Amino acid sequence: MSGSAHLDTFAADNLPPRELWPEILRTRPEFSYPERLNCVVPLLDRWVAEGHGDEPCLFSPDGDLTYRGLFDLVNRICNVLTGELGMVAGNRLLLRSANNTWMVATYLAGLKAGLVVVATMPLLRASEIAYPINKARISVALCDAKLADEMEKARPLAPGLGRLVYWGSDGPDGLERMVERASPVFEPADTAADDICLIAFTSGTTGEPKGCMHAHSDMLAICDGFSGMILKPERRDRFIGSAPFAFTFGLGIVLFPMRIGASFVVVEKAGPDDLPPAIERFRATICFTAPTAYRAMIPKLGQYDLSSLRKCVSAGEALPRGTFDAWLAATGMKLIDGIGGTEVLHIYISAAADDIRPGSTGRVIPGYDAKIVDDEGREVPTGTVGRLALRGPIGCRYLSDPRQTSYVRDGWNLPGDSFRVDADGYFWYQARSDDMIISAGYNIAGPEVEAALLTHPAVQECGVVGAPDADRGQIVKAYVVAAPGFPASAALAEELQRHAKDAIAPYKYPRAIAFLPALPKTSSGKLQRMELRRRAEREAAHAT
What is the Cα–Cα distance from 391 to 291, expressed in whole angstroms?
A: 26
| Torsion, Cα of 254, 220, 404, 526 (10° steps) | 30
363: number of CA atoms within 13 Å, CB side?
Answer: 16
Q: What CATH code is carried by the domain that includes residue 490?
A: 3.30.300.30
pLDDT at 205: 43
Does 206 score more than 60 pLDDT? no
pLDDT at 531: 92
Q: What are the distances in angstroms from CA 68 to CA 47, 74, 177, 211, 344?
A: 8, 10, 20, 33, 31
Categorize the per-residue pLDDT at 275 as very low, low, confident or very high, splitting at 50, 70 and 90: very high
> pLDDT (tens digit, 9 = 90+) per residue, 36-78?
999 999 999 999 999 999 999 999 999 999 999 999 999 999 9
pLDDT at 29: 96
Q: According to the per-residue pLDDT averaged within each range, which of 2-6, 153-157, 200-204, 320-324 is highest? A: 153-157
SS3 525: coil
What is the Cα–Cα distance from 46 to 339, expressed in whole angstroms?
A: 30
User: Is residue 495 included in any domain, yes or no?
Assistant: yes
User: Is residue 460 included in any domain, yes or no?
Assistant: yes
User: Is residue 475 included in any domain, yes or no?
Assistant: yes
User: Is residue 85 included in any domain, yes or no?
Assistant: no
| Torsion, Cα of 71, 308, 61, 347 (10° steps) | -60
Does 360 score more than 80 pLDDT? yes
What is the Cα–Cα distance from 434 to 430, expressed in whole angstroms?
A: 11
Q: What are the distances in angstroms from CA 252 to CA 101, 171, 228, 385, 510?
A: 15, 33, 11, 30, 37
User: Is residue 267 included in any domain, yes or no?
Assistant: no
User: Is residue 93 included in any domain, yes or no?
Assistant: no
Does 467 score more than 70 pLDDT? yes
Lowest average pLDDT, out of 95-109, 318-332, 444-458, 515-529, goes to 515-529
Q: Quick one: average pLDDT of 379-395?
A: 96
What is the Cα–Cα distance from 444 to 117, expressed in whole angstroms?
A: 40
Does 1 score more than 60 pLDDT? no
Report the candidate in 118, 74, 56, 65 with the shortest Cα–Cα distance to residue 93.
118
542 DSSP assignment: H
Q: What is the DSSP string of 65-124?
A: EEHHHHHHHHHHHHHIIIIIT---TT-EEEEE-SSSHHHHHHHHHHHHTT-EEEEE-TT-
In terms of pLDDT, which residue wins out, 544 or 172?
A: 172
- Per-residue H/E/C for 329-362: HHHCCCCEEEEECHHHCCEEEECCHHHCCCCCCE
Name the domain count of the chain: 1
Residues 295, 276 contacting (CB under 8 angstroms): no
User: Is residue 263 included in any domain, yes or no?
Assistant: no
Residues 287, 279 contacting (CB under 8 angstroms): yes
What is the Cα–Cα distance from 336 to 30, expressed in whole angstroms?
A: 22
SS3 172: coil
Question: What residues does 213 pair with on adjacent strands?
Answer: 199
In terms of pLDDT, which residue wins out, 528 or 462?
A: 462
Rg of the chain over all Cα atoms, to the nearest angstrom = 23
What is the Cα–Cα distance from 257 to 322, expressed in whole angstroms?
A: 30
Helix, strand, coil % in the chain, rounded to nearest 5? 35, 25, 40
Q: Which contiguous run of DSSP H or E holds residue 212?
A: strand 211-215
**Residue range of the domain that includes 492:** 440-543
Q: Which contiguous run of DSSP H or E holds residue 405?
A: helix 404-407
Categorize the per-residue pLDDT at 188 as very low, low, confident or very high, splitting at 50, 70 and 90: very high
Question: Could you give phi then psi for residue 433, rounded to 5 degrees?
Answer: -60, -30
User: Is residue 219 included in any domain, yes or no?
Assistant: no
Residues 133, 126 contacting (CB under 8 angstroms): no
Categorize the per-residue pLDDT at 505 as very low, low, confident or very high, splitting at 50, 70 and 90: confident
Report the candidate in 59, 68, 146, 71 with the shortest Cα–Cα distance to residue 108.
71
Report the candidate in 108, 91, 102 with the shortest Cα–Cα distance to residue 6.
91
Does 448 score more than 70 pLDDT? yes
Q: What are the distances in angstroms from CA 4 to CA 218, 221, 267?
A: 16, 19, 36
